[in-house]
Amino acid sequence: MENLKQLENILEKIINCVKDGYIVGGALRDFLLGIEDIKDVDIVISGNFYETIHCIEKATQQKGFLYTREKPVYTFYLNNIRVDITKLQGTIEEDLSHRDFTINTIAYSLKEKKIIDPLNGIKDLQKKILCPVSSSALKKDPVRILRGIRIKSKFHLSYSKKFTESAKKFANLIEKEPKERIREELIKILKLQNAYEAFKDMRELNVLYSIFPELAEEEKIPPSGLHQYPLIIHTLKTVEYICNIFKQWGKINHYVIKEVSNLTFSGNISGRELLIIAGLLHDIGKPLTVKEKNGHLTFYNHDKIGAKMAEKRLLTIGFGKKTASSAKKIIELHLRPFFLFQLFKGKQLSPKAVYKFIKAAGSLLPLIVIHSIADFKATSEKMNKDTDEFIWFLNEKVINFYLKVKSVKPLLSGKEIMKIKGIQEGKAVGRIKDKLIEFQILGRVKTKEEAIKAIKGFSP
């Protein structure tokens, strides 16, 4: 009960406003699990809802915001912790019976200072079992399937038989749910350290293809050529290796770590989360391009076709233009590091080929590099064992080159280029400057005099 006293202390400023209420939901569950890093607290109240809101605003000297989902919710922040206030539906026992899982049907009475646990949620929490409150709980709200998968992965629980049977039975209903709710749960899954486990569970519970129907076609593609695994297994292994790379960077250039950590995309998506979703979708173009040639399967242009498909799917789910277009570029270029590696092994790699890749990738190059490592590892056991050689190549021949490109400044300014070429300010100046940098990088131009001579031959 000492932990629960700490939870009460968080609410000290508003405790008189909610003294007849109950703490419910994830915060209470997490405290019972010994997790004290609380980010949000849910409270249900039995008194007048709007009088409670007025009391809270007076006590905190701040305005929250009111919105409606299944019922009105008043949200505000207390010491950087989100607090959601809702009205009690009937008795506390009746209210809890309408929730999703038994481990979330535990309440703490702020008035009586006691735990209320009508559905034995604490017992399931101790046994680490995820069980719906009823057989119809997932049918009423199919998004709960995703929430259950996330909770199971986050807290290392096991599914009850009732959950697996209901999830498989009602997975197709999720297609009709608002895309905003689906996206919200997917983003929370992407943030998990072991997100790959959640995606594996989504496949086994029939929900993965309800959200990403393009992936269902991967089930039909068998192992072929370098690929030891069926395509869908390769895809899930790629996601797993991406997650593992972020746990242990090993020999990957530390600059890549820093760059990926600093990148953010639309919808509160981090570089790591973008990589996971791109890894999940990177081969969806293969089923559309598969052909048999000399006893092997080929997938010409699957990268370009799959990139467009992935962008469209992510926009449909509501991930935002920056996230969708960035995933598109990662998928479009995901084979290029491997092609460069093959040229290197055949002693045919040129600086110009590496430079062209760097220019095409732009700021997403660190992400494409990490994706290529995971993709490489997920191809076969043999290639997994040979990953160190591939990482060495990427560090020495690609990333170091990329850092060199980022540090180079043009020998001529924009004004100097305009004067020499007799042109006005515009896109042509930028194109000439880019070409000049390329010449500098490739060693064709080393001095200002050589730069002037070179740009005189450039077309605007």
Of the residues 108, 127, 146, which one is the last residue of a structural domain? 127
Query: Same domain for 263 and 398?
Result: yes
pLDDT tier for residue 3 given thresholds of 50, 70 and 90: low
CA dihedral 207, 248, 256, 300 (to 10 degrees): -50
Q: What pLDDT shows up at residue 300? A: 97
Residue 115 in any domain: the answer is yes
460: pLDDT strictly greater than 90: no
Q: What pLDDT shows up at residue 457? A: 84
Query: Same domain for 341 and 436?
Result: no
Domains identified in the chain, total number: 3
pLDDT digits (tens, 9 = 90+) for 66-111: 988 778 999 999 988 999 999 999 999 999 999 999 999 999 999 9
Residue 37 in any domain: the answer is yes
458: pLDDT strictly greater than 90: no
Q: Are 338 and 389 in contact (CB under 8 A)?
A: no
Over range 51-56, report the average pLDDT. Answer: 96
Q: What pLDDT shows up at residue 32? A: 87
4: pLDDT strictly greater than 80: no
178: pLDDT strictly greater than 60: yes
Query: Same domain for 318 and 402?
Result: yes
Residue 393 in any domain: the answer is yes
Residue 224 in any domain: the answer is no
195: pLDDT strictly greater than 70: yes
Query: Same domain for 264 and 381?
Result: yes
Q: Are 263 and 367 in contact (CB under 8 A)?
A: yes
pLDDT tier for residue 2 given thresholds of 50, 70 and 90: low
Q: Percent of the chain having pLDDT more than 90?
A: 85
Q: Which of 337, 333, 331, 330 is nearest to 387 (CA)?
A: 337
Query: Same domain for 259 and 387?
Result: yes
DSSP 424: -
Query: Same domain for 441 and 330?
Result: no
Residue 262 in any domain: the answer is yes
pLDDT tier for residue 50 given thresholds of 50, 70 and 90: very high
Query: Same domain for 317 and 428?
Result: no
Give the torsion sign (CA, 202, 205, 211, 213). positive
Q: How far is CA 427 from the centre of its chain?
A: 35
DSSP 158: E
pLDDT tier for residue 294 given thresholds of 50, 70 and 90: confident
Residue 147 in any domain: the answer is no
Two structure tokens written together for 156: 């290392």
Of the residues 105, 127, 149, which one is the last residue of a structural domain? 127
Query: Same domain for 366 and 430?
Result: no
Q: Identify each DSSP E strand in 167-273 by its residue range.
A: 264-265, 269-270
Residue 217 in any domain: the answer is no
Of the residues 101, 127, 153, which one is the last residue of a structural domain? 127
**CA–CA gap between residue 43 and residue 128 (Å, rounded):** 24
Q: What are phi and psi of 4, to 5 degrees?
A: -70, -30
Helix or strand holding residue 76 (H, E): strand 72-78
Residue 159 in any domain: the answer is no
**CA–CA gap between residue 366 and residue 254 (Å, rounded):** 10
pLDDT digits (tens, 9 = 90+) for 143-164: 999 999 999 999 999 999 999 9
Cα atoms in the Cβ-side hemisphere of radius 13 Å centred on 394: 26
Query: Same domain for 288 and 371?
Result: yes
Terminal CA-to-CA distance of the chain, rounded, Å? 75
Over range 380-388, report the average pLDDT. Answer: 94
Query: Same domain for 278 and 389?
Result: yes
What rounded mean pLDDT belongs to the chain? 94
Q: What pLDDT shows up at residue 31? A: 86
Q: Please name the amino acid found at residue 76.
A: F
**CA–CA gap between residue 195 and residue 204 (Å, rounded):** 15
456 or 22, greater pLDDT: 22
254: pLDDT strictly greater than 90: no
Query: Same domain for 390 and 268?
Result: yes
> What is the pTM (predicted TM-score) of this model?
0.92
Q: For residue 450, what are the domain limits?
A: 414-455
CATH code (residue 60): 3.30.460.10
1: pLDDT strictly greater than 80: no
**CA–CA gap between residue 263 and residue 332 (Å, rounded):** 19
pLDDT digits (tens, 9 = 90+) for 104-130: 999 999 999 999 999 999 999 999 999
Q: What pLDDT shows up at residue 247? A: 80
**CA–CA gap between residue 402 and residue 404 (Å, rounded):** 5
pLDDT tier for residue 368 given thresholds of 50, 70 and 90: very high
pLDDT tier for residue 428 given thresholds of 50, 70 and 90: very high
Query: Same domain for 267 and 296?
Result: yes
